[in-house]
């Protein structure tokens, strides 16, 4: 009796939390499409006025003026409209969390220290309500990073297009990199209850270096495992943790390291150099303070948040707002992300406004657009397919009535790999519902 009751409750709870959006993915492109007389923002080149763009079989075939369309081409007249490459969210948990307050819908972090073999691709929910909401604002590609719980490794990230029935259809790269949260550098808390012991700087430093040693030991073990496999001296037990690190050691994929404070950033850069691996820093903190070192080490940065408060009481109010501009001034390769982490996925649609805030505080506008299109594509290693409008690249683009960095602009149409995307979402459904309600009154 008790067992039956527990099973019934489990199914009831799963049923209440497994809501999925009811928007069907578009069909593969069946005929050539010509976007005519539009302002085309290629990002990699000039802005073309009153120009045409032709795509077929999901690929851009021609960009220019007065393109002669092939037979049976669908022509879309776009006078006074703008065409942009799909925006790229370079640090997100989209598809790994639905409602942050509901534990059963949070699948963005594992417990334990060495979760290297945890793969975000196996956990992404293609039916997440947050996906239509995000792509309705031009964000068509997402880099999904498993987060770090109580340990050091989050797991392997994936890059997905925000359209498709399954993760196999959506995937651009199923294993894009390994995510690490750099050990937090010790600092005395601003507030300490009397019941707690005094801050012990020496003990805190010891813990910090102990965690760094754990990282180093993991890479040493992975190299030993790789060497044992290549020697072929005998059968060895397969260890998925070290298997997941092999592409990192071979520089096929990078390590994405989240680090905020100056000490953490510098230590992470030195560590990556000593390990001879590719590093991408994810930070919104002190990266600009270490810009020269980052540039010399040829490290790319994902600015995980622009519209945020400073982390220290004595810092200027616009300290975080200016990070992107400072990195640009110092010649650092960077992208702008919304913020990543668990609860922020519901706001990934606001990515272009993070770039807009950076423009207001010194970043050139063209660089801001590049920071959410071509730059993240280069950092993620997918710029041969997406990130700009060029012949031979995927037809992943959207059409607007203005500048996407301006909150007043509307996204009118979108295409992912040539598929027409349904831009309706939970938000538009609620809008339509309450429009009817107040019309009736």
Q: Give the pLDDT confidence of 196-212 residue by residue, as tens digits.
A: 665 566 777 888 999 99
Average pLDDT over residues 288-295: 94
pLDDT of residue 195: 56
Domains of the chain: 22-86+387-441 (2.30.40.10), 87-189+197-380 (3.20.20.140)
pLDDT at 7 over 50: no
d(CA 273, CA 6): 53
Residue ranges with strand state E in 219-352: 255-258, 279-283, 300-303, 334-336
Of residues 238 and 344, the one with the higher pLDDT is: 238
pTM above 0.85, yes or no: yes
- DSSP for 391-414 reads TTSB--EEEESS-TTSTT--EEEE
Contact call for residues 218 and 93 (beta carbons, < 8 A): no
pLDDT in tens, 94-123: 988 887 777 777 777 777 777 888 898 999
pLDDT of residue 189: 52
Average pLDDT over residues 286-306: 94
Q: Taking Cα atoms as reference points, which of 441, 411, 403 lies closest to residue 140?
A: 411
3-state secondary structure (DSSP) of residue 112: coil
pLDDT at 236 over 90: no
pLDDT at 188 over 50: no
Confidence of residue 8 (pLDDT cuts 50, 70, 90): very low
Put residue 410 in one of left, alpha, beta given phi > 0 → left and psi -120 to 50 → alpha. beta
- Residue 262 burial by Cβ neighbours in a 10 Å radius (0-12, 13-18, 19+): middle
d(CA 316, CA 357): 16
Contact call for residues 140 and 418 (beta carbons, < 8 A): no
Q: Taking Cα atoms as reference points, which of 322, 402, 19, 385 lies closest to residue 171?
A: 385
Q: Taking Cα atoms as reference points, which of 75, 71, 29, 72 lies closest to residue 52?
A: 75
pLDDT at 418 over 80: yes
pLDDT of residue 134: 95
Contact call for residues 307 and 344 (beta carbons, < 8 A): no
C-alpha atoms less than 13 angstroms from C-alpha of 376 in its C-beta half-sphere = 33
d(CA 250, CA 102): 39
pLDDT of residue 15: 42
Average pLDDT over residues 33-45: 97
Cα-only R_g, the chain: 23
Contact call for residues 138 and 414 (beta carbons, < 8 A): yes
d(CA 83, CA 85): 7
d(CA 160, CA 164): 10
Strand partners, 358: none
| Token duo for residue 137 | 């604002």
Matching residue, tokens 């668990």: 342
d(CA 43, CA 388): 5
Terminal C-alpha separation, the chain:
51
């Amino acid at each position: 009796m008790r067992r039956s009751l527990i099973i019934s409750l489990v199914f009831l709870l799963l049923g209440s939390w497994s809501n999925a959006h009811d928007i069907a993915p578009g069909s593969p492109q069946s005929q050539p499409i010509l976007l005519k007389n539009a302002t085309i923002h290629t990002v990699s080149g000039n802005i073309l006025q009153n120009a045409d763009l032709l795509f077929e079989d999901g690929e851009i075939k021609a960009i220019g003026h007065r393109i002669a369309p092939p037979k049976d081409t669908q022509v879309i007249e776009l006078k006074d409209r703008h065409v942009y490459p799909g925006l790229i969210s370079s640090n997100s948990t989209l598809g790994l969390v639905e409602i942050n307050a509901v534990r059963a819908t949070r699948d963005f972090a594992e417990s334990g220290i060495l979760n290297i073999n945890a793969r975000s691709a196996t956990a992404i929910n293609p039916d997440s309500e947050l996906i239509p909401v995000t792509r309705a604002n031009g964000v068509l590609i997402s880099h999904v990073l498993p987060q770090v719980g109580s340990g050091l490794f989050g797991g392997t990230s994936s890059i997905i297009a925000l359209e498709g029935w399954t993760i196999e259809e959506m995937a651009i790269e199923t294993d894009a990199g390994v995510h690490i949260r750099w050990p937090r550098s010790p600092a005395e808390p601003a507030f300490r209850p009397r019941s707690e012991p005094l801050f012990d700087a020496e003990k805190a430093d010891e813990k910090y270096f102990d965690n760094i040693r754990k990282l180093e030991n993991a890479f040493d073990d992975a190299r030993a495992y790789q060497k044992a496999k290549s020697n072929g001296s005998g059968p060895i037990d397969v260890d998925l943790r070290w298997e997941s690190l092999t592409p990192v050691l071979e520089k096929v994929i990078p390590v994405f390291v989240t680090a905020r404070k100056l000490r953490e950033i510098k230590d992470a850069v030195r560590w990556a150099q000593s390990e001879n691996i590719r590093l991408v820093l994810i930070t919104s903190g002190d990266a600009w303070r270490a810009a020269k070192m980052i540039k010399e080490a040829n490290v790319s940065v994902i600015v995980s948040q622009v519209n945020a408060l400073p982390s220290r009481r004595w810092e200027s109010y616009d300290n975080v707002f200016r990070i992107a501009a400072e990195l640009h001034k110092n010649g650092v390769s960077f992208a702008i992300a919304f913020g990543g982490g668990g609860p922020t996925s519901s706001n990934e649609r606001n990515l272009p406004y993070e770039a807009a805030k950076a423009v207001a505080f010194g970043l050139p506008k063209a660089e801001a657009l590049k920071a959410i299109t071509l730059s993240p594509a280069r950092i993620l290693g997918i710029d041969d397919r997406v990130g700009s409008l060029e012949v031979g690249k995927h037809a992943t683009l959207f059409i607007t009535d203005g500048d996407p960095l301006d909150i007043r602009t509307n996204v009118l149409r979108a295409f992912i790999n040539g598929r027409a995307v349904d831009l309706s979402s939970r938000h538009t459904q609620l809008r339509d519902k309450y429009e009817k309600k107040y019309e009736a009154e």
